[in-house]
Amino acid sequence: MARSSSNETQIKNILVPIFQAIFRSGKMVYIIIIGVLLYFGYQYFSKNKQENIEFNSSLIEKQIKNVSKSIVTEGHYAEVLTYKDQQKYLLDLISFEKKALIVANADVFITYDMRQLEYKIDEVNKTITITNLPEPELKINQDLNFYDVNQSRFNPFGAADYNKIQKKVKEVIKAKVEKSTLKTNAENRFLSELSKILVLTNTMGWKLKYNGNTIESDTEFTKKL
């Protein structure tokens, strides 16, 4: 205790003369003024920094929402098919056949609904993380024309035949789309829209992430998506 009191006395002996000298010289006023200015300066710049972060995040979110609501790529296909069906009776001794030549014209649409794009904004780390990407939706509008229709009174064309033909034509068209450039063109347009988000984040000094990876260029963007 004696040693502690001795230390306190020494500190007082050092500090008291210093403060007395400051008061006598009138410099304490300047120190107080400087302290006040430093405080308000800190508050001002801290507020501006927070407002800047909020402004940047709001602008980025607005720009992302301005990305196309839907990306539609359209193509046209034509197919010619022959449909045959045969009904047999009496141990296959008697048969009744029906057949038709079908010309199918189809308009095909591949759509990416950008409203399904989900993301998180990290204002502190200036990062946008994409959490969900829209899947392509395939829509086929087909028009069938029947030619050279031959049918028996005992085996006529009915609703079941037309449904079967519609299904078969759709399968054929879908297989063609998978092998065509239409699907690739749709993907390229989709990536082009996503690249707008990449350009925006780079311009604002933010980062864009997907699947735990940081996207830094269009090429890298395409590979990781």
pLDDT tens by residue, 103-154: 999 999 999 998 898 989 888 888 999 999 899 999 999 999 988 888 777 7
Residue type for position 65:
K
Indicate the domain borders of the chain.
Answer: 62-224
Structure tokens at 20: 């007395």
pTM over 0.95: no
Structure tokens at 92: 């296959």
- Whether 84 and 97 have beta carbons less than 8 Å apart is answered as yes
- Whether 170 and 200 have beta carbons less than 8 Å apart is answered as no
CA distance 55 to 21: 49
Alpha carbons within 13 A on the beta-carbon side of 170 = 12
pLDDT digits (tens, 9 = 90+) for 169-222: 999 999 999 988 999 899 889 888 888 888 888 888 889 998 888 888 767 766
CA distance 221 to 213: 10
Q: Is the pLDDT of residue 28 over 90?
A: no
CA distance 125 to 106: 49
Structure tokens at 8: 């306190």
Structure confidence at residue 93 (pLDDT): 61
H or E element: which one contains 62? helix 28-65
